[in-house]
Structure 1
Amino acid sequence: MFVSFSRRVTVLLASCAVAFTAASLATTAQEDPADRLGPELTEPDPERVLGHVPPPAPTDSAPAPIPRPGHVAVCGEPGRDEIVTLPDPSAPGEERPLWIRRPPGPDSADLPVLYLLHGSSSTHATLMDAGVGELLDRQMCRMGVEFVVAAPYGQVADGSTTEWADAHDGRFALEEFVTEAAVTAVEGEHRRSRSLRAIGGFSMGGYGATALALRSPDLYSQVVSWAGYFRVDDPDGVLGENTTGHSPDRLLGSEKARDLRFLLVEGREDHTPLQEGSIHGEAERFSSLLAERGMTVTTLRPPGGHDLTTWKSTFPDAVDFLVSGWAASP
């Protein structure tokens, strides 16, 4: 119980710090369209560890976005926020919100989507209030590739720590919501190909993003895990007794998952406790398992701990990683 409380409190303290200090901003010598959104977000260069990084394998026939740095619509106009509420008996009020941020202009099937999962004691609103949308707008402008950001609400009425899973006793079905209802709500008639769909998350969301991508490799091509863990840590027992099928480090044998691309981020001072051990060292351990299988992985070790300030400092690297994957699609 103490371990569960520690992980929740750690993330809660981070999520409540909405007024935290923004990452330092860099300026350029000449003004370009990106300056209208403010200078690029930068931090001291994070320690980068590269695993085996082969070119992404072709996965489908989706057209690759063509980068136009400083010359996309979001450089002059911010993304549009929308909260969609979908029916779900397990959610408070029996409705589950979904935050969608779209770049200016019409939606289309060739516009990539990044699905984002929050931590155990936060919500989609935490990410909104922390300016995640605005910061990603800046990176889209800098790289010249726009994408949709979609973050579902992952809490349940009984207060269980969900692990972004389907509960073994049927109390809730968060995995089903993310992989089915959320995708339908975000993409609608403009269904994306796998190569243009990524999933990421913070803390418990980093675990969830990794587990869901490995369990549904036909849906996603890229994963970004900020301070995730890669073994089961289930303080409320929502997965039941047989947890092997939910442990990322046990899900690497599928041929369908071999071309998944992973970016793993772990703060150098992150010692957040789990039921066994801590998050410290999880990125390095999982990166080694991926590299052993010849899978694409990049690991970042930024200064800092288990908080949004640390994670947001890596947004430039994260968007670079995602765009490189999207640009390599057929």
Structure 2
Amino acid sequence: MALLKCDFFSEVLGINTTMTVILPQQTTNQIGVKTAQSTGLHPTLFLLHGLSDDDSIWLRRTSIERYVSELGLAVVMPQVHRSFYTDMEYGQRYWTFISEELPAVARSFFPLSHKREENYVAGLSMGGYGAFKLALRKPEVFAAAASLSGAVDVTTFAERSAEPYHDYSLIFGDRQVAGTEDDLLYLLKKVDQEQLVKPKLFQVCGTDDHLYEDNQRFASLCKASSFDHFYEEDPGRGHTWDYWDERIQDVLKWLPLPRKGNE
């Protein structure tokens, strides 16, 4: 695998920003790591960080580089600060950046596939929200999305002052989020009713996680829908990196990668 840290100027944000990228590498000489020979344009996982993290966190807290080495899968990890992957009321247009500019820039830099069936998105906590929002607002772009302990119901954050979402007013202002395209519960129902193509959804959460009830609520709606949806809750597990390190491996096994049938 090749690991690259990319600094580039974002036209959308009007600032210099970064992304970290893992690319399949044409070599069989990496000691202690099995690699897949991958040619052409690579299937791509956009892997999103949480509220207090950045584009380097998945590499620092998990073994994601080693986990994808046998899959021929590229991984793009962008930096969006504490934006909730949203065009902020008082801040930058991170939704436009993540949904439009980032894929185009990444594909201009690297040999990444543009095919829907070869593009996926996943994330943890705030990134789980971002992953499902991308897949539900862009179902024609992403074949699958995974949320690990995701913040899947942002509509109630302002009412829960004990939870650590201090940037809520900067992101959404004082507007009503429920029933808009920043509301995953609304988006799920909308896509279920209107879209012919739907992304596969993968959702896990620990029962000791402060977002557990939100995840139960989202999973219940999925169960009543026509989505291909996997949900599992893990007793006694919390909002921790040891849990996400385990579960990202399950996500990688679950992804509908085009090469899996040839393994």
Q: Which residue of the partner structure matches residue 192 of structure 1?
A: 114
Is this contact kept in 2: 1:200–1:225, CA < 8 A?
A: yes
- Equivalent pairs: percent with the same residue? 22
Q: Aligned partners of 1:237 and 1:190: how far apart in 2?
A: 34
CA distance in 2, matches of 1:257, 1:239: 30
Structure 1: distance between partners of 2:259 and 2:233? 24
Contact 1:217 1:257 in 2 (8 A): no
Which position in structure 2 is the counterpart of 1:235?
A: 168
C-alpha deviations, 1:37-66, integer Å up to 9, x for none? xxxxxxxxxxxxxxxxxxxxxxxxxxxxxx
CA distance in 2, matches of 1:257, 1:102: 32
Could you tell me which amino acid in structure 2 is paired with residue 289 of structure 1?
L
Q: Which amino acid aligns with 1:246?
A: D
How far apart, in 2, do the equivalents of 1:199 and 1:149 lie? 9
> Which residue, 285, 288, 302 being the options, matches 2:220?
288
Q: Is the Cα contact below 8 Å between 2:48 and 2:131 reproduced in 1?
A: yes
Equivalent residue letter for 1:262: L
1:103 aligns with 2:42: no
Question: Over the residues paired in the alignment, what is the CA RMSD in angstroms?
Answer: 2.5
Higher relative contact order (CA 8 A, sep 6+): 1
1:75-110 C-alpha deviation (Å, 9 max, x unpaired): xxxx1111111214897x93110001011136633x
The TM-score normalised by the length of structure 2 is 0.78
Question: How far apart are the structure 2 equivalents of 1:292 and 1:263?
Answer: 15
Determine the structure 1 residue equivalent to 2:83: 162
Q: How many residues align?
A: 230
1:249 — aligned with what?
185
Name the structure 2 match of 1:205.
127
> Contact between 2:133 and 2:184, CA under 8 Å: does it hold in 1?
yes
Question: Does residue 152 of structure 1 match 2:78?
Answer: yes
In the TM superposition, what whole-angstrom CA distance separates every residue of 1:235-266 from its partner, at most 9, and x where no partner exists? 23412314222010001222337521111010
Q: Judging changes above 3 Å, is the alpha-carbon distance between structure 1 residues 327 and 257 closer, same or farther for their aligned structure 2 residues? A: farther
Aligned to 1:178: 98
Q: Is the 8 A contact 2:118 2:257 kept in 1?
A: no
2:45 is aligned with 1:114: yes
The alpha-carbon deviation at position 230 of structure 1 amounts to 2.0
Larger-gyration structure (1/2): 1
> Contact 1:207/1:228 (CA < 8 Å) preserved in 2?
yes
Q: Distance in 2 between matches of 1:315 and 1:127?
A: 10
Contact 1:214 1:257 in 2 (8 A): no
Trace 1:1-330 onto structure 2 (pairs within 5 A). 79-88=1-10, 94-105=15-26, 108-109=40-41, 111-137=42-68, 141=70, 145-155=71-81, 161-168=82-89, 171-188=91-108, 190-232=112-154, 233=157, 235-240=168-173, 241-243=175-177, 244-252=180-188, 253-254=190-191, 255-256=194-195, 259-271=198-210, 279-302=211-234, 303-323=236-256
**Secondary structure of residue in 2 paired with 1:207:** helix
CA drift at 1:181 = 2.2
Contiguous gaps of at least 5 residues in structure 2: 27-37, 158-166
* Secondary structure of the structure 2 residue equivalent to 1:177: helix
Aligned AA (1:250): Y
Cα 1:236–1:136, aligned 2, differ >3 Å: closer, same or farther?
A: farther
Q: Hey, what's the Cα distance between the residues in 2 that align with 1:214 and 1:268?
A: 25
Distance, in Å, in 2 between the alignment partners of 1:293 and 1:113 is 27
Q: Distance in 2 between matches of 1:325 and 1:307?
A: 31
- Spell out structure 1 runs of 4+ moving beyond 6 A: none
Q: Secondary structure at the match of 1:82?
A: strand
Please report the TM-score for the alignment, with normalisation by the length of structure 1: 0.63
* Unpaired runs of at least 5, structure 1: 1-78, 156-160, 272-278
Question: Which structure has more strand as a fraction of its residues?
Answer: 2
Distance 1:112 1:324, change over 3 A: closer
Q: What is the one-letter code of the residue matched to 1:224?
A: A
